[in-house]
Amino acid sequence: MIFAVAMGAVLVTMGLALVRAAKGPTIFDRILALNMFGTKTVLLIAVMGFLTGRPDYLDLALVYALMNFIGVIGVLRFSKYGHFADPDRKDVA
Amino acid sequence: MDLLVDVVGGGLLLFGAAFALIGGIGLIRLPDFYTRIHGAGITDTLGAGLILSGLMFEAGVSIVTIKLLLILLFLWLTSPTATHALANSALETGLKPRLADGEEAASTP
Amino acid sequence: MKYLIGLMIALTGTWVLWSWHFTTALLSYGLASCVVVLLIARRMRVVDREGAPIDLLPVLVTYLPWLFWEIAKANVDVARIVLHPRMPISPRLIEVRATQKHDLGRVIYANSITLTPGTVTIDTEGDLITVHALTQGAADGVLSGEMDRRVSRLGSQS
């Protein structure tokens, strides 16, 4: 029961993050919302593992945390440079 | 004893969910990008911390607890990095923070 | 050398914890991938005090509980502001000098500031750290320099 309530709250938070991602107004607001959405997804997966009695879900939660972090850094780099190449290296770009 | 663990774990879980929700409300209510970061900070620190701690209580002493602890440590290591990267790129792109009463930046001597 | 060994212990520990299967095949895959990661890390020259800060582990034991308590207090403050009908925020930018000698200490300090809700490090240049604070109270907390002193003490003990 408590798990379901916590899951509901996390889902509502994710919804609020989506609203901010849709409203913007700057790209950074959207990335911030995306980052928060990702963190909440990690929590959602973890709580869901307990709700369904399958703690194996935690492995997925960790993988999602990794992907979320790398994804945010990647999007930031892309929005700054417009490509993923190392700005200091001209031989690979 | 079991009941106590359930009550403490459930309480932590509910408090964590409440803080996550407050962070979400902050993300909507706060007026500009730099202040919204602080709202997102609530969900990333205490929201995630309390929810995962609550789950740790529910799980008892097992491998699941250690995995939850590792997820929490990982989140707490990466979230300031991501937040700083985000705020710094916003600053470098020229997004100006809206300050109170147009005050100048204060600094320590 | 001690950083290499420390990193190896951390990597194999992580593998064992997440796999939690003890068959010969899986353990040897784990060992092989840890060795490959170590070789790559050494080739990237990141196996040093910064890449594998194992000497910090003992002193972190005293710092982390203090930091968690600060984070909890700051969270309640920010939560109260967010839920307040008029939202009494007074955002400001402040600059503080970090007194840590090494980059690693400064990173810990700057990240601790960011991790505490109400204050976010938005720029670092040398030992000058620019902080965005949500309220005057949060700004005063950073300006008081207690966190700075505690992080500096971390570095001097290791």
Averaged pLDDT of chain B: 84
ipTM confidence? 0.82
> Do residue B47 and residue A33 have CB atoms under 8 angstroms apart?
no
Distance CA C136, CA B63 (A): 43
Question: Tell me, what amino acid is at C46?
Answer: V
Over residues A67-76, the pLDDT tens digits come to 999 988 888 8
Angle at B29 between CA B26 and CA B33, to 5 degrees: 80
pLDDT at A91 over 70: no
CB-CB contact of C95 with C124 (8 Å): no
pLDDT at B103 over 60: no
Among candidates C155, C147, C154, C144, which has minimal Cα distance to C62? C154
Nearest Cβ partner for C18 among B23, B67, B79: B67
pLDDT at C6 over 90: no
Averaged pLDDT of chain C: 85
Distance CA B100, CA C92 (A): 6
Give domain status of residue A88, yes or no: no
Per domain, the residue ranges of chain C are 2-43, 56-157
Give domain status of residue A89, yes or no: no
Please give the tally of structural domains in chain A. 1
Q: How buried is C53 (Cβ within 10 angstroms: 0-12 exposed, 13-18 middle, 19+ buried)?
A: middle
Question: Tell me, what amino acid is at A10?
Answer: V
- Sort out which chain C residues have CB atoms less than 8 A from B97's CB and list them: 91, 93, 122, 132
Side-chain half-sphere exposure of B76, counting CA atoms within 13 A: 23
Angle at C131 between CA B25 and CA C58, to 5 degrees: 95
Give domain status of residue A93, yes or no: no
- Sort out which chain B residues have CB atoms less than 8 A from A42's CB and list them: 48, 71, 75
> If you ran DSSP here, which 8-state letter would residue C47 be given?
-
pLDDT at C105 over 90: no
- Sort out which chain A residues have CB atoms less than 8 A from B81's CB and list them: 69, 73
> By percentage, how much of chain C surpasses pLDDT 90?
13
Per domain, the residue ranges of chain B are 2-90
Smallest CA–CA distance from C132 into chain B, residue? B34
Mean pLDDT (whole number) for C70-89: 87
pLDDT-derived band at A86 (thresholds 50, 70, 90) equals low
Task: Output the CA–CA distances (angstroms, integers) from residue B91 to A27, B18, B74, B94, in the order listed.
Answer: 13, 31, 26, 5
pLDDT at C151 over 90: no
Helix%, strand%, coil% for chain C, nearest 5: 65, 10, 25
> By percentage, how much of chain A surpasses pLDDT 90?
29
Q: Is B28 part of the contact surface with chain C (CB cutoff 8 Å)?
A: no
> Do residue B100 and residue C114 have CB atoms under 8 angstroms apart?
no
Nearest Cβ partner for C17 among B66, B91, B101: B66
pLDDT at A41 over 70: yes
Domain of residue A50, residue span: 2-81
> Do residue B95 and residue A28 have CB atoms under 8 angstroms apart?
yes
- The rounded Cα B34 to chain-centroid distance in angstroms is 15
pLDDT at A44: 92
pLDDT at A93 over 60: no
pLDDT at B107: 47
Interface test with C, best of B68, B75, B79, B84 (most C CBs within 10 A): B84
> Chains near B, with 3+ CB pairs < 8 A?
A, C
> Do residue B89 and residue A32 have CB atoms under 8 angstroms apart?
no
Give domain status of residue A91, yes or no: no
